[in-house]
Structure 1
Amino acid sequence: MATDLEKAVTRDDIDGKGLKIGIVQSRFNQEIGNALLSACKSQLLLSQVDEKDITVMTVPGALESPLMLHEMALTGSFDGLIALGCIIRGDTYHFEIVANESARCISDIQIETGIPIANAILTTENEEQAIARMTIKGTEAAQVVMEMIQALKSLGRN
């Protein structure tokens, strides 16, 4: 059986030179968030995004992520943004509220501002599922945001 690191397909065909990337990491479920961040930054650096061009902001939880993403988008300082975090289902309806509202707000910010946002806030049934996905989703988030930046540039967007 492949390990989590083996499942995460890093790509060296994405050019991140000169890109400025903002990352918002939720501190709730911090161990998962830290692993998401590590995988995400590894892919960004592999893609030649300069470490000084990666800004990481932390927030308490997934519901706070959209506000920080919105404010970062409005600065005009970033080519793309990434949301990292983990929401694990509990015994109450709170899971659905947090998962649905954070995802909706992130999509709204992306459409409103025109800044691509990769949403890698995991929504899982349990911690085991989160652990199984954290490296893959962190890596993919970096890939997604860079691909979207490049796609928008191909349309003439700066």
Structure 2
Amino acid sequence: MASTDHYTLPRPEFDRPVKLLLVVAPFYRKIADDLLAGARAEIEAAGGTHETIEVPGALEVPTAIGMAGRMKKEFDGFVALGCVIRGETTHYETVCNDSSRGITLLGLQGLCIGNGILTVEDMGQAEVRADPAQQNKGGGAAAAALHLVALARQWGAPQQGIGFQAGGDMS
């Protein structure tokens, strides 16, 4: 298969520290460890810090990110990490679609999330994508989260009174 060159945005710079939460589903431990290594290296190269938590599987990743986003205001962004390998049943589609949908919905609500949940056909594909010396998808997910944090800081905090306000005075 021919190699394709991809453009990568320059690493964002920050005037104050960035802290990301890495949420990993370590079902395939070697893959998870490679994804974590790539993500941690990218965050540290940007001068950021990180904390890591583990969840049972890819379906729990968006739930944990949503909980942290509501309850732990210390994180500027999040990195979702894990791996789903196609099996013999339709469970693969459910896990891939629902974990991705959950992460997307949280992002649309304003959380800065880099999605590094691999969805692959076999272990060989997973190994190439997770390896920091090859495709480094963990590093790419961390870079995505850092870029979103930079955008959020550039645009500032949400303004009061924008969007639907339940129970507000309409007069």
Instruction: Kindly provide the amino acid, as one letter, of the partner of residue 109 in structure 1.
Output: L
Q: Which moved more, 1:133-142 or 1:81-90?
A: 133-142
Identity within the alignment, % = 32
Query: CA-to-partner distance for each residue in 1:24-73, whole Å, 9 max, x for gaps?
Result: 00011111011000011011111111xxx311000111011111111111
Q: Which residue of 1 aligns with 2:168?
A: none
1:151 partnered with 2:147: no
1:93 partnered with 2:90: yes
Paired residues, number: 148
Instruction: Kindly provide the amino acid, as one letter, of the partner of residue 43 in structure 2.
Output: L
Structure 2 CA distance for aligned equivalents of residues 107 and 12 of structure 1: 23
Instruction: Kindly provide the amino acid, as one letter, of the partner of residue 156 in structure 2.
Output: G
Q: Which residue of 2 aligns with 1:4?
A: none
1:86-125 aligned within 5 A:
86-112=83-109, 114-125=110-121
Q: 1:14 to 1:102 in 2, by over 3 A?
A: same
Structure 2 CA distance for aligned equivalents of residues 13 and 106 of structure 1: 23
Larger proportion of helix = 1
- Preserved CA contact (<8 Å) 2:78 2:113: yes
Q: Which runs of 5+ in 1 are unaligned?
A: 1-6
Q: Which residue of 1 aligns with 2:13?
A: 15
Structure 1 CA distance for aligned equivalents of residues 10 and 112 of structure 2: 20
Q: Which runs of 5+ in 2 are unaligned?
A: 159-171
Q: 1:139 to 1:120 in 2, by over 3 A?
A: same
**Counterpart pick for 1:72 among 63, 68, 73:** 68
* Runs of 4+ residues over 3 Å off in structure 1: 9-13
- Compute the RMSD of aligned alpha carbons: 2.1
- Whichever of the two has the greater Rg, that structure is 2
Structure 1 CA distance for aligned equivalents of residues 94 and 84 of structure 2: 11
1:60 partnered with 2:77: no
Q: Which residue of 1 aligns with 2:166?
A: none
Q: Which residue of 1 aligns with 2:140?
A: 140
Counterpart secondary structure, 2:52:
strand
Q: 1:46 to 1:58 in 2, by over 3 A?
A: same
TM-score norm. by structure 1 comes to 0.86
